[in-house]
Structure 1
Amino acid sequence: MSTKRDNISLSVIRRLPRYHRFLHDLMLSGVTRISSRELSERMGLTASQIRQDLNCFGGFGQQGYGYIVEQLYDEISRILGVGNNLPTILLGAGNLGHAIASHMVFEDRGFHLIGIFDRDPKLQGQEINGIPISSGDCLEEFCKQNKPVVAILCLPRDAVFDIAKRLVEWGVEGFWNFSHFDLSLHFPNIVVENVHLGDSLLTLSYRVSEHRRQE
């Protein structure tokens, strides 16, 4: 069941992958049906929060019966675009980029990694999961021929703006950005998901400090 999605908050959208992951675990455990209360106990959310979140996208449960786990998992997969298979490129095959290209199962999350690029001649020609690392000199021609929709940026901060500008000109519509350069300020019409590992670590530092203080 579909509903208007124009006003759905980003906080709701950010909870969807967590629902997706928990439901997948429930399926693997053989659970076929679950109530919002039971799901809330497993996820550490309130039952009303879960119902409100899911109601943003349609009515998936039945009062007094709960949610059919596999059906809800499939619906959230569809909402998240897991079947989109978006052609994706990765720029920067250093330690972080190599780890992402090696271990991330893109196909399970709606993406298909089709190209990896790095300016280091020592890396060029090597393969990660069967994909050769190419020179950045080939990037424009590759984009024109293969039309990637998403780019993963594992680049130094000072290199990001110029390459992002060119990628937008070549048709890229979204960035998974690890560069610590906030592209959304410069490309408001492009979808940007910024990943700040340092911010996450600082959040952990605060929470551990507070926990120790309270004890």
Structure 2
Amino acid sequence: MSSKNISMAVIRRLPKYHRYLGDLLDKDIQRISSKELSDIIGFTASQIRQDLNNFGGFGQQGYGYNVEALYNEIGKILGLNRSYNAILVGAGNLGQAIANYSGFRKAGFEIKALFDANPKMIGLKIRDFEILDSDNIEQFITDNNIEIAILCIPRNGAQELVNRLVKTGIKGVWNFAPIDLEVPDGVIVENVNLKESLFTLSYLMKENEEE
């Protein structure tokens, strides 16, 4: 099946499979059935088999899944068998928290530089990074083969900045700015709206209280 025909719902479940399989490997568990995986993850066994069958046959009847092999295969499907160079734009509290998270580097996402437009931030150091002036962002992207931009900036100016980034050939944007960005075909945007996620939590809590 072409990856273009696989629903986003399936794709968004893959990182969860990968995380839980990694936890199983840490516990030295080598084999697991779809039923056992269902009990751990919370998806039905049928859903798990359907999801994985989109990408080929990974399990064996009567045996289940080889945990390490499935973990590695899902990693390849997610593109985690390669590395990505990234920049982070916006060195405020959120940007600093992301820059300090070591898990991205372990997964192959290497943040190469931090940028900010605030003159008071430029030149300060976060972890091993000196915050650079975002006026110089295009040259850095070109010189350092940057593929991903992480945006932790206010909505004002976000679209203008992305327009600049697109011209450099940036391939992906991880967007924390509270705005739906417009990009041309060939550029991927993954929006992370913290307020919307919090509002969803609020709704579910309200529903739970009313039951």
Bin the TM-score by the shorter chain.
over 0.9
When the two structures are aligned, how many residues end up with a matched partner? Answer: 211
Q: Secondary structure at the match of 1:115?
A: strand
1:93 pairs with 2:100 = no
Alpha-carbon offset, residue 126 of structure 1:
2.2
2:198 is matched with which residue: 198, 201, 207? 201
1:172 is matched with which residue: 145, 170, 177? 170
**Which runs of no fewer than 5 residues in structure 1 stay unpaired?**
none
Alpha-carbon offset, residue 125 of structure 1:
1.8
**Partner in structure 1 of residue 184 of structure 2:** 187
2:210 is matched with which residue: 192, 205, 213? 213
Q: Is the Cα contact below 8 Å between 1:82 and 1:108 reproduced in 2?
A: no
Relative to the length of structure 2, the TM-score reads 0.95
- Quote the RMSD (CA, aligned, Å): 1.3
Alpha-carbon offset, residue 16 of structure 1:
0.4
> Deviations along 1:151-198, whole A, 9 cap, x unmatched?
001111011111100100011011000001111x44344100000111
Q: Read off the aligned partner of 1:86 and give its amino acid letter.
A: Y
| Distance in 1, Cα, partners of 2:185 & 2:178 | 17
**Partner in structure 2 of residue 74 of structure 1:** 72
**Partner in structure 2 of residue 33 of structure 1:** 31
Q: Secondary structure at the match of 1:99?
A: helix
Q: Read off the aligned partner of 2:61 and give its amino acid letter.
A: Q
Instruction: Summarize the Cα distance change of 1:187–1:167 in structure 2 as closer, same or farther, 3 Å threshold.
Output: same
| Distance in 2, Cα, partners of 1:71 & 1:180 | 38
**Partner in structure 2 of residue 112 of structure 1:** 110
| Distance in 1, Cα, partners of 2:127 & 2:69 | 32
Q: Read off the aligned partner of 1:167 and give its amino acid letter.
A: L
| Distance in 2, Cα, partners of 1:179 & 1:47 | 37
**Partner in structure 2 of residue 160 of structure 1:** 158
| Distance in 1, Cα, partners of 2:2 & 2:187 | 21
Relative to the length of structure 1, the TM-score reads 0.94
Moved over 6 A (4+): none
**Which runs of no fewer than 5 residues in structure 2 stay unpaired?**
none
Deviates more, 1:196-205 or 1:130-139: 130-139
Q: Is the Cα contact below 8 Å between 2:166 and 2:183 reproduced in 1?
A: no
Q: Secondary structure at the match of 2:6?
A: coil
1:59 pairs with 2:54 = no
**Partner in structure 1 of residue 9 of structure 2:** 11
